[in-house]
Structure 1
Amino acid sequence: MTTLITSTGTSSSASPGVGRGLALSVLRLHRSALWLWLLLVVVLSATMLWAYGPGFDAADTEGRERCRANSEACYFPSGPALDRYDTAVSYSTLAVACLPFLVAVWAGAALIARELETGTAHLAWTQSVSPTCWLAAKLAVPALLITAGSAVLVPLHRLVWNQDAWLRSVDWFDGSIYPSNGTLPLAYALCGLALGALAGLVVGRALPALGVAFAALLAVLYLANEYRLSLWPTVTVTGAKALNLPDKALRLDQGVITDKGTRIGNNMACTVSDGAADLQRCLTRSGLDDIWATYHPKSHFWPLQLAETGVVLAVAALAVTAAFVLLRRRTATEGVAV
């Protein structure tokens, strides 16, 4: 039996047709998830295209008409067309941001753990597929589909967001927009896939693996939210520049500098000064030397996105490596050729 397993594993890895067969097998076995993913991409794409075209046009026309009739409506636009537009954009953004969690749950519960739980994975290993090829196919096929879908959804989301200048008034650093508007959706989806596969191998049962994968990705996202703004150097200015930061800048901290050179953060003294001369008079009266502010300009969007993307992909790579190492050790003890 050992000779048979070894010989079939060797021949399968050498045959170029095995890879295609494995990919087709994964697609057939999980065709329900495939159709659901395609349907999700189509629906989200159609929703964002509507928001970019007729939805925005109707909301923009309604908002400008209400703004001409009432100046307060310029700051708080509302109306039926605006509500429909806001609903479409909000739910599309939420869906793009939540896709990693859906991928993690599916990968942990169905892609790996269920096949281990039902024994279909062991059956494949004793036929013509080595465990290493099996896991590689289980990761590569959905990774390609996720990448293709994200390549459609993320540019469409950016298209809608770039057009939305005043209707929703959401800044680039807003927590509801930032995770859905760059390279992060794909990075977190791939990380969810990797963590889900690792959870499936560790737990070996579908339902517990679902919870473990979800909790693991939630922990990664929590840590990213905590340290996201420290992944790229901030800009610090003093004097009158601290009173007038660039447009769309994210202010992180502001404070004063005492006459002894000590910086005190979260201090708003003299920040309402009108110009450099008024600032200097306020500083003299208060016995201070200067004021300062630390911020991220809008130009830091892509550096921050790419830095966080690199960290998340590194976590995904570690999870994939751990999954292959665990699989090799487990199958080696069972006498299965890897």
Structure 2
Amino acid sequence: MTTLLTTGTSTGTSPRTGRGLALSVLRLHRSALWLWLLLVAALSAAMLWAYGPGYDAAVADVREQCRDSVEACHYPNGPWLNKYDTTVAFTTLTVAYFPFLVAAWAGAALIGRELETSTAHLAWTQSVSPTRWLAAKLAVPALLITAGTAVLVPLHRLMWNRGAELLWADWYDENTFHANGTVTLAYALCGLALGTLAGLVVGRALPALGVAFAALLPVFYLGNEYRVSLWPTVTATDTRIPSLPAEALDLEHGVITTEGTRIGNNLACTDSDSAADLKRCMTDAGISDFWTTYHPKSHFWPLQLAETGVVLAVAALAVTAAFVLLRRRTATEGVAV
């Protein structure tokens, strides 16, 4: 807090200005800043290794095993392949779930600790209005999170696209989907907003950490649960058993009876050995067509942008609630906003 109050005298810049407030936030949370920079640097280095020499070494392992054994090609193994898989899995998991770290930090260190120690109240009465204080607390971390994510997500996509044939996960797997697009930033900003709101509501560092984490958890869960509903699906109907496009996300499939009834998750006749057997089976079962509903790989970005918009809307609501709560609280204390 001393930093916040003395910024104007040490730099010649009034703490009431946007620059003075930004510098105050950076100085007060410089440990978190350095940890964030180190995390971005470490993840970037790991993903660049997996994109370049790590991928080449893993491919060499696979080729060596496939030359020795055909069976090994289906279950490849090797020291460099294992290191490559571990690096990809770790970086994907970290990029996908770092929004929870943001939420916990925002609730505990960014807001909760300052309210608990009353340093925020001192700032409001002596140097800066509560509204400008909260705006700076949100704007500076949001800018740094956006800059870091702008580095991590493209690097992850670069690594993932090159090693697609070595990876078991598909584009629609939860962690992969998060780490490969804009939803990562959206959830991080949502975590920042929910953490800030939790800090203001609770007013204590440690409880706010838990509340912020718990607040982001249902948003994360609901996003994974209802993601496929955020963009129109594709439904294919055919008298033959439909074959999905490569890398499509199969959502539901079934049969259409001769009476026009659509029955989902019905695998009747799908084990037929020939076209004649299939036709005979369909006649006996009263089936006229097969159908399947899916998301092709081309829906990746529409789904990303739709979910990003929803999550950012939640973040905006949390920010609005935070400002309203702060205004009401400081109004009762007689502090100018």
Matches of 1:224 and 1:241, distance apart in 2: 34
For the 8 Å contact 2:15–2:127, the answer to whether it is kept is no
Change (3 A) 1:141 1:276: farther
Q: Among all aligned residue pairs of Structure 1 and Structure 2, give the percentage whose two residues are the same amino acid.
A: 76
The alpha-carbon deviation at position 270 of structure 1 amounts to: 2.0
The alpha-carbon deviation at position 72 of structure 1 amounts to: 2.0
For the 8 Å contact 2:16–2:128, the answer to whether it is kept is no
Unmatched segments (≥5 aa) in structure 1:
1-14
Match of 2:62 in 1: 63
Match of 1:327 in 2: 326
Partner of 2:127: helix, strand, or coil? coil
For the 8 Å contact 2:15–2:128, the answer to whether it is kept is no
Matches of 2:192 and 2:174, distance apart in 1: 23
Unmatched segments (≥5 aa) in structure 2:
1-13
Match of 2:75 in 1: 76
Structure 1 residues 177-217: Cα deviation after superposition (integer angstroms, max 9, x where no partner): 11111111101000000000000001111111111100010
Matches of 2:291 and 2:161, distance apart in 1: 31
Write the letter of the residue equivalent to 1:127: Q
Match of 2:3 in 1: none
Match of 1:263 in 2: 262
Matches of 2:90 and 2:22, distance apart in 1: 32
Write the letter of the residue equivalent to 1:41: V
Structure 1 residues 116-157: Cα deviation after superposition (integer angstroms, max 9, x where no partner): 110110111111200000000000000000000000000000
Matches of 2:291 and 2:187, distance apart in 1: 35
Matches of 1:270 and 1:134, distance apart in 2: 66
User: Is it true that 1:299 corresponds to 2:298 in the alignment?
Assistant: yes
Map 1:162-311 to 2 at 5 A: 162-240=161-239, 242-273=241-272, 279-311=278-310
Greater RCO (CA < 8 Å, at least 6 residues apart): 1
Match of 2:24 in 1: 25
CA RMSD of aligned residues (A): 1.5
Write the letter of the residue equivalent to 2:307: E
Matches of 1:142 and 1:287, distance apart in 2: 62
- Greater CA deviation, 240-249 or 312-321? 240-249
Write the letter of the residue equivalent to 1:216: A
Match of 1:40 in 2: 39
Match of 2:8 in 1: none
Match of 2:89 in 1: 90
For the 8 Å contact 1:240–1:275, the answer to whether it is kept is no
Structure 1 residues 249-287: Cα deviation after superposition (integer angstroms, max 9, x where no partner): 111111111121111111111223467665433311222
- What stretches of structure 1 move > 4 A for 4+ residues in a row? 273-278
- Greater CA deviation, 83-92 or 282-291? 282-291
User: Is it true that 1:161 corresponds to 2:160 in the alignment?
Assistant: yes
Per the normalisation by structure 1, the TM-score is 0.93
Match of 1:134 in 2: 133
Partner of 1:176: helix, strand, or coil? helix
